[in-house]
Chain A
Amino acid sequence: MSAAAPSKSGLFDCRDSFATTIEALAEADPRIVTVVSDSVGSSKLGGFRTKFPDRMVNVGIAEQTLVAVGAGLANGGKVPFVSAASCFITGRALEQVKADIAYSNVNVKLIGQSSGVAYGELGPTHHSIEDLAWLRLFNNMKLIVPADPWQTAEAIKAAAVYEGPVFVRVSRMAVPVLERPEGAVFEIGKAETLIQGTDATIIANGTMVHRAIAAAKALSAEGVAARVVNMATVNPLDEAAIAAAAETGAIVTVEEHSVRGGLGGAVAEMVSTTNPVPMRILGFPGFVPTGSAEWLFDHFGLNETGIAEAVRQTIARKK
């Protein structure tokens, strides 16, 4: 485990895991550089800057150049990790992401920090609940939404060795370490089934995975066997979604993202063309009110109670 120590609550900020992992990778691979837009602190890269001052490029508050400089560094043989708030690195620089990174198919890793509604109180300009929808349109870009510090570290390591464009969406919300079987490995494009079940499948990623687990445990007490799949890679999607449709006949997706065009959209596109089953997509409806992330999760049913109820309703729609 290369993540930093947990807080007293036993919860982690996955940005710490990103920071310690990238420092360790940079020790071994001199090609690794970081690119930031005045986002050293928010990316937790102060340690990297101290250790590798010549391998951090700070372009200032200039996201278009941030992304384009990443493309240029890759052209010059570097493995750039371009890190900034997810709302800006995607939306503000979207054409650079399209033309300079995805369409040019270059070896750049975009790290969307403080994604989702982590900046809840700052309002929708700073929420990043559109980022996956935007980036899903670029078919060659790997999209990874890790659920905990272990998976964040593994995703960063996988991105570093994969040759091509990758986006890793990192949360700053406190999350627990998920329980996994001994010897678990992370692979881009491979989902993990954390709880077995036959009545319905909850497909979640990022900060929603541990909430999905809690919902499944609550349902289990009622005699409902809900499977929980952690679909950390949104592109390419694992065919686990198709398997879930065939085997459990009902799917609920849960994500800290808009219901439009994110994980739920990806699963729906796949399942609707293979084995349509009743589905519910849980997420945010669009622009959301101001409030803390925790308040927003509760308000929009992205919690144990809301997820469990969505599963009951979806099972009721099974033919």
Chain B
Amino acid sequence: MRNDLVAEIRTRALWIRRRSFQMVYEAQQGHPGGDFSAADILATLYFGVMRYDPANARDPGRDRFVMSKGHCTGAFYAVLAAAGYFPEADLKTYMKPQSLLNGHPNRNYLPGVETNTGPLGHGLPVATGIAIAGQIDNADFRTFVLTGDGELQEGSNWEAALTAGHRKLENLTLIIDRNRLQQGARTEDTASLDPLDDKWRAFGWHVEVVDGHDHQQLLDVLTTSPKGRGKPLCIVANTFKGKGVSFMHDNVAWHHGVPNKEQYEQAMRELV
């Protein structure tokens, strides 16, 4: 059963990569490098971990997912469509005039989006507030937030890290897409983050470091009950920007690069 689940997640992650790259190719805009580093995390969350009902998207008991790295809408919209929040056909409108699929996610347009993101450093503070609401009500929903690593250079994250640690928000899980690349260069050459795991421990968080492309590892760490731990959970998911396509792998040029026809076709040949 577990093997079946991992196989399904793997299939979903591959589809997210292919579909999001098609979106970027058709729109000639987007952030495919980050879409690919996050694809396995998103597939694991939506098809192996979270509790949600697209037909009742604002169900108070739902698990929440906050996409803090809101520029990676290719992968995010693809997973939302795959999860059933809206028809896959709508993905064709990505970034077109009056599309509901804006370059950054909008909760008022699109079911499944919990808060509007795009500017960096917003997701964790909002997710902290959601988790506090759950804590006050002793509710059993979990709140997950996915940030980039470069995004942690925004100070607002560390304000929230203090509050979440102080309030022992065990219902809050932060996943850091640690691909070590930001828009212009490597994170460690820009404003270095290491030792990243120790930083979170110092803020009162429980930290797990995993291979962010290993579905079994992701599934194990995300499905382990956080109850009784008394700490928020930070998962440092080591990933590669452009993971899955040879010429994009760990290549900063693909932060918001767009493919030409040959690149698109080569990527599709590799993503099988």
Contact = CB atoms under 8 A, between A and B. Distances in A.
Given A60-B162, A65-B163, A96-B122, A72 B116 contact: no
Interface in A56-102: 57, 59-60, 62, 64-65, 68-78, 80, 95-96, 99-100
Interface residues of B, number: 33
Contacts of B257: none
Nearest to A78: B133
B92 interface: no
B132 A69 contact: yes
Majority-rule SS of A interface residues: helix
Contact of A72 (B107, B118, B133): B133
B133 A73 contact: yes
Contacts, number: 108
A71 B159 CA distance: 15
Contact of A99 (B116, B132, B133, B137): B116
Contacts of B131: 72, 76
A33 B122 contact: no
Contact of B159 (A33, A65, A78): A65
A104 interface: yes
A161 B159 CA distance: 30
Contacts of B137: 76-77
Contacts of A104: 107-108, 115-116
A75 B130 contact: yes
B160 interface: yes
Interface string B68-90: 00000000000000000000000
B161 to A, nearest CB: 9
Contacts of B106: 103
A76 B163 contact: no
B123 to A, nearest CB: 9
A55 B136 contact: yes
Give the residue among A65, A68, A69, A72 with the most B Cβ atoms within 10 A.
Answer: A72
A54 interface: yes
Contacts of A77: 60, 133, 137
B187 interface: no
A86 B130 CA distance: 24
A60 to B, nearest CB: 6
Given A104-B116, A105-B108, A72 B162 contact: no
Interface in A35-60: 54-55, 57, 59-60
Contact of B116 (A65, A73, A80, A100): A100
Give the residue among B116, B129, B155, B156 with the most A Cβ atoms within 10 A.
Answer: B129
Contacts of B116: 99-100, 103-104
A301 B132 CA distance: 47
13 contacts: A62-B162, A65-B128, A65-B156, A71-B126, A72-B131, A72-B133, A75-B126, A75-B129, A76-B60, A77-B60, A99-B119, A100-B115, A105-B108
Interface of B: 60, 64, 106-108, 114-119, 121-122, 125-134, 136-137, 139, 155-156, 159-160, 162-163, 166
Given A68-B129, A71-B129, A100-B116, 4 more contacts: A62-B160, A72-B131, A76-B134, A99-B116
